[in-house]
Amino acid sequence: MRNTFNTLTTNSISDFPQAMERAANVKLLVLDVDGVLTDGSLLVGPDGKEALKIFDSLDGHGIKLLQSTGITVAIITGRTSGMVEGRAKELGIEHVQMGISKKMDALQSLLKKTGYQLSECAAMGDDWPDLAILPKVHLAICPAQAHEEVKKRVHYVTQKTGGSGAVREACDLIMKAQGHYERLLKESL
Protein backbone atom coordinates (compact mmCIF):
# COMPACT_ATOMS: atom_id res chain seq x y z
CA MET A 1 0.00 0.00 0.00
CA ARG A 2 1.46 3.33 -1.02
CA ASN A 3 1.47 6.07 1.60
CA THR A 4 0.59 9.61 0.59
CA PHE A 5 2.13 12.26 2.75
CA ASN A 6 1.01 15.73 3.67
CA THR A 7 2.52 18.18 6.05
CA LEU A 8 -0.32 18.76 8.46
CA THR A 9 -0.51 21.64 10.89
CA THR A 10 -3.70 22.87 12.47
CA ASN A 11 -5.41 23.50 15.76
CA SER A 12 -7.76 20.52 15.42
CA ILE A 13 -7.03 16.85 14.84
CA SER A 14 -10.43 16.43 13.17
CA ASP A 15 -9.34 18.76 10.36
CA PHE A 16 -7.28 15.89 8.93
CA PRO A 17 -9.57 13.08 7.85
CA GLN A 18 -6.67 11.13 6.29
CA ALA A 19 -4.84 11.02 9.62
CA MET A 20 -8.07 10.17 11.47
CA GLU A 21 -8.88 7.43 8.95
CA ARG A 22 -5.40 5.94 9.26
CA ALA A 23 -5.47 6.17 13.07
CA ALA A 24 -8.64 4.07 13.14
CA ASN A 25 -6.63 1.00 12.09
CA VAL A 26 -3.67 1.38 14.46
CA LYS A 27 -2.84 -1.47 16.83
CA LEU A 28 0.81 -0.58 17.50
CA LEU A 29 2.38 2.83 18.20
CA VAL A 30 6.17 3.00 17.94
CA LEU A 31 7.91 5.98 19.55
CA ASP A 32 11.37 7.46 19.27
CA VAL A 33 12.69 9.01 22.48
CA ASP A 34 14.91 12.08 22.01
CA GLY A 35 12.81 14.83 20.44
CA VAL A 36 9.58 12.83 20.81
CA LEU A 37 9.25 11.65 24.41
CA THR A 38 11.74 14.35 25.43
CA ASP A 39 12.49 17.81 24.07
CA GLY A 40 15.67 16.45 22.50
CA SER A 41 18.05 18.10 24.95
CA LEU A 42 21.00 15.97 25.97
CA LEU A 43 22.26 16.80 29.45
CA VAL A 44 25.75 15.38 29.69
CA GLY A 45 27.60 15.07 32.98
CA PRO A 46 31.33 15.59 33.63
CA ASP A 47 31.95 11.92 32.89
CA GLY A 48 30.68 12.43 29.33
CA LYS A 49 27.59 10.32 29.94
CA GLU A 50 24.02 11.43 29.70
CA ALA A 51 22.96 12.64 33.13
CA LEU A 52 19.26 13.40 32.76
CA LYS A 53 16.18 13.03 30.55
CA ILE A 54 12.98 14.94 31.20
CA PHE A 55 9.69 13.28 30.30
CA ASP A 56 6.25 14.93 30.13
CA SER A 57 3.51 13.64 32.44
CA LEU A 58 0.81 14.37 29.82
CA ASP A 59 2.61 12.05 27.41
CA GLY A 60 2.86 9.36 30.07
CA HIS A 61 -0.84 9.52 30.91
CA GLY A 62 -1.72 9.47 27.21
CA ILE A 63 0.36 6.32 26.74
CA LYS A 64 -1.38 4.63 29.68
CA LEU A 65 -4.81 5.62 28.33
CA LEU A 66 -3.92 4.35 24.86
CA GLN A 67 -2.67 1.05 26.25
CA SER A 68 -5.92 0.66 28.20
CA THR A 69 -7.73 0.50 24.83
CA GLY A 70 -5.63 -2.46 23.72
CA ILE A 71 -3.09 -0.55 21.65
CA THR A 72 0.50 -1.73 22.08
CA VAL A 73 3.10 1.01 22.59
CA ALA A 74 6.76 0.36 21.84
CA ILE A 75 10.01 2.32 21.86
CA ILE A 76 12.73 2.13 19.22
CA THR A 77 15.60 4.54 19.87
CA GLY A 78 19.18 5.05 18.80
CA ARG A 79 20.49 5.76 22.30
CA THR A 80 20.77 3.43 25.25
CA SER A 81 19.57 4.86 28.53
CA GLY A 82 18.65 3.51 31.92
CA MET A 83 16.32 6.49 32.24
CA VAL A 84 14.36 5.34 29.18
CA GLU A 85 14.26 1.81 30.51
CA GLY A 86 12.92 3.07 33.85
CA ARG A 87 10.29 5.32 32.24
CA ALA A 88 9.15 2.52 29.93
CA LYS A 89 8.80 0.16 32.88
CA GLU A 90 6.83 2.78 34.83
CA LEU A 91 4.43 3.20 31.87
CA GLY A 92 4.09 -0.53 31.20
CA ILE A 93 5.80 -0.37 27.81
CA GLU A 94 6.93 -3.93 27.25
CA HIS A 95 8.72 -3.57 23.91
CA VAL A 96 11.81 -1.35 24.23
CA GLN A 97 14.68 -1.49 21.75
CA MET A 98 17.61 0.82 22.50
CA GLY A 99 20.95 1.42 20.80
CA ILE A 100 19.33 0.80 17.41
CA SER A 101 21.16 2.03 14.32
CA LYS A 102 18.84 0.32 11.80
CA LYS A 103 15.33 1.20 12.89
CA MET A 104 13.57 -0.68 10.09
CA ASP A 105 15.27 -3.93 11.12
CA ALA A 106 14.14 -3.28 14.70
CA LEU A 107 10.59 -2.58 13.55
CA GLN A 108 10.49 -5.75 11.45
CA SER A 109 11.66 -7.72 14.49
CA LEU A 110 8.97 -6.09 16.62
CA LEU A 111 6.28 -6.86 14.06
CA LYS A 112 7.37 -10.48 13.93
CA LYS A 113 7.34 -10.71 17.73
CA THR A 114 3.92 -9.06 18.14
CA GLY A 115 2.21 -10.44 15.04
CA TYR A 116 1.20 -6.97 13.82
CA GLN A 117 1.53 -5.77 10.23
CA LEU A 118 2.89 -2.45 8.92
CA SER A 119 -0.72 -1.65 7.97
CA GLU A 120 -1.56 -1.67 11.71
CA CYS A 121 1.42 0.39 12.80
CA ALA A 122 1.82 4.06 13.65
CA ALA A 123 5.20 5.60 14.37
CA MET A 124 6.36 8.94 15.72
CA GLY A 125 9.81 10.37 15.09
CA ASP A 126 11.51 13.72 14.67
CA ASP A 127 14.74 13.37 12.71
CA TRP A 128 16.44 11.61 9.81
CA PRO A 129 17.08 8.26 11.58
CA ASP A 130 13.29 7.93 11.88
CA LEU A 131 12.87 8.21 8.11
CA ALA A 132 13.81 4.54 7.89
CA ILE A 133 10.37 3.67 9.27
CA LEU A 134 8.05 6.69 8.97
CA PRO A 135 7.34 6.37 5.22
CA LYS A 136 6.59 2.65 5.64
CA VAL A 137 4.05 2.65 8.48
CA HIS A 138 0.30 3.15 8.10
CA LEU A 139 0.27 6.35 10.18
CA ALA A 140 3.40 8.53 10.40
CA ILE A 141 3.46 11.33 13.00
CA CYS A 142 6.06 13.87 14.06
CA PRO A 143 6.19 16.60 16.70
CA ALA A 144 5.99 20.28 15.76
CA GLN A 145 9.75 20.89 16.07
CA ALA A 146 10.73 17.91 13.86
CA HIS A 147 13.22 18.38 11.07
CA GLU A 148 11.65 19.77 7.88
CA GLU A 149 12.47 16.62 5.89
CA VAL A 150 10.52 14.57 8.42
CA LYS A 151 7.54 16.94 8.33
CA LYS A 152 7.35 16.45 4.54
CA ARG A 153 6.97 12.69 4.96
CA VAL A 154 4.35 12.24 7.66
CA HIS A 155 0.56 12.15 7.78
CA TYR A 156 0.29 14.30 10.88
CA VAL A 157 2.43 17.01 12.50
CA THR A 158 1.40 17.66 16.11
CA GLN A 159 0.88 21.16 17.43
CA LYS A 160 2.89 20.28 20.52
CA THR A 161 6.63 19.76 20.56
CA GLY A 162 8.50 16.69 21.71
CA GLY A 163 8.64 16.33 25.47
CA SER A 164 5.78 18.84 25.81
CA GLY A 165 2.65 16.88 25.00
CA ALA A 166 3.28 15.78 21.40
CA VAL A 167 2.94 12.09 22.28
CA ARG A 168 -0.29 12.80 24.17
CA GLU A 169 -1.61 14.53 21.06
CA ALA A 170 -0.77 11.44 19.00
CA CYS A 171 -2.43 9.17 21.59
CA ASP A 172 -5.53 11.39 21.57
CA LEU A 173 -5.66 11.22 17.77
CA ILE A 174 -5.69 7.42 17.86
CA MET A 175 -8.20 7.25 20.72
CA LYS A 176 -10.55 9.68 18.96
CA ALA A 177 -10.30 7.82 15.66
CA GLN A 178 -11.10 4.53 17.39
CA GLY A 179 -13.99 5.90 19.45
CA HIS A 180 -12.35 5.56 22.88
CA TYR A 181 -11.62 9.19 23.73
CA GLU A 182 -15.07 10.33 24.90
CA ARG A 183 -15.64 7.14 26.91
CA LEU A 184 -12.31 7.49 28.71
CA LEU A 185 -12.95 11.17 29.35
CA LYS A 186 -16.36 10.40 30.88
CA GLU A 187 -14.76 7.74 33.10
CA SER A 188 -12.33 10.38 34.37
CA LEU A 189 -15.05 12.86 35.36
Q: How far apart are CA 48 and CA 86, in angstroms?
A: 21
- Domain range spanning residue 159? 13-188
Query: What's the pLDDT at 111?
Result: 98
Average predicted confidence (pLDDT) for the chain: 91
Beta strands in the chain (DSSP E): 28-31, 43-44, 50-52, 72-76, 95-97, 121-124, 139-142, 156-157
- When pLDDT is cut at 50, 70 and 90, the band that residue 3 belongs to is very low
Domain count for the chain: 1
The answer to the question of residue 166 being in a domain is yes
The answer to the question of residue 39 being in a domain is yes
- Mean pLDDT, residues 92-119: 97
For the stretch 38-63, pLDDT in tens is 998 888 888 888 888 999 999 999 99
Q: How far apart are CA 175 and CA 47, in angstroms?
A: 42
Q: How many percent of the chain have pLDDT more than 90?
A: 84
| CATH number of the domain encompassing residue 71 | 3.40.50.1000
